[in-house]
């Protein structure tokens, strides 16, 4: 029973998040916004839907599938975002070591120039590197 309550709460949070993002983008048109709202009726074009999906990605902290840009209603957008969050959670739980590795793999080794700057005091300009003989 507790798990069902958690699922319902997550559903409600996702609905609220998506509605907030859509409302922030459509502005005055949002007065008639609901889960059943059709983007065509709200006069939301494809570019604006793309912007909404990008805003959701930013708020959720994960990449959403591009198919979400084909959503026709707010409810479809909620369902697609929820599915992406669930898939992301499953992937992380199945491969926890991979997640740690990916954080390290994104860090680039320091270049010689960066290493040289790190040896000098902050605020002081590092010495010029000569071009060689």
pLDDT band at 16 (very low <50, low <70, confident <90, very high): very high
| Cα 28 to Cα 25: distance, rounded to the nearest angstrom | 9
**pLDDT by residue (tens digit) across 21-32?**
999 988 866 677
**Tokens of residue 130, six digits:** 């000569």
| Cα 1 to Cα 12: distance, rounded to the nearest angstrom | 17
72 close to 40: Cβ distance less than 8 angstroms: yes
| Cα 12 to Cα 19: distance, rounded to the nearest angstrom | 10
For the chain, domains (ranges, CATH) are: 13-94 (1.10.1200.10)
| Cα 127 to Cα 119: distance, rounded to the nearest angstrom | 11
Closest by alpha carbon to 69, among 92, 96, 45, 91? 45
**pLDDT by residue (tens digit) across 33-84?**
889 999 998 889 999 999 999 999 999 999 999 999 999 999 999 999 999 9
**Torsion, Cα of 49, 80, 98, 3 (10° steps):** 140
Closest by alpha carbon to 82, among 29, 16, 2? 16
**Tokens of residue 107, six digits:** 């860090």
pTM value surpassing 0.75: no
């Amino acid at each position: 029973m507790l798990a069902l309550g958690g699922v319902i709460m997550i559903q409600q949070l996702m609905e609220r998040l998506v509605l907030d993002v859509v409302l922030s983008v459509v502005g005055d048109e949002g007065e008639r916004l609901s889960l059943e709202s059709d983007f065509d009726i709200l006069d939301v074009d494809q570019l604006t839907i793309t912007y909404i999906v990008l805003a959701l990605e930013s708020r959720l902290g994960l990449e959403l599938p591009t198919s979400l840009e084909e959503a026709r209603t707010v409810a479809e957008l909620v369902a697609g975002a929820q599915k992406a969050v669930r898939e992301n959670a499953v992937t992380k739980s199945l491969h926890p070591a991979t997640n740690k590795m990916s954080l390290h793999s994104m860090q680039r080794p320091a270049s010689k120039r960066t290493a040289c700057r790190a040896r000098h005091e902050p605020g002081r300009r590092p010495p010029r590197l000569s071009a060689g003989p």
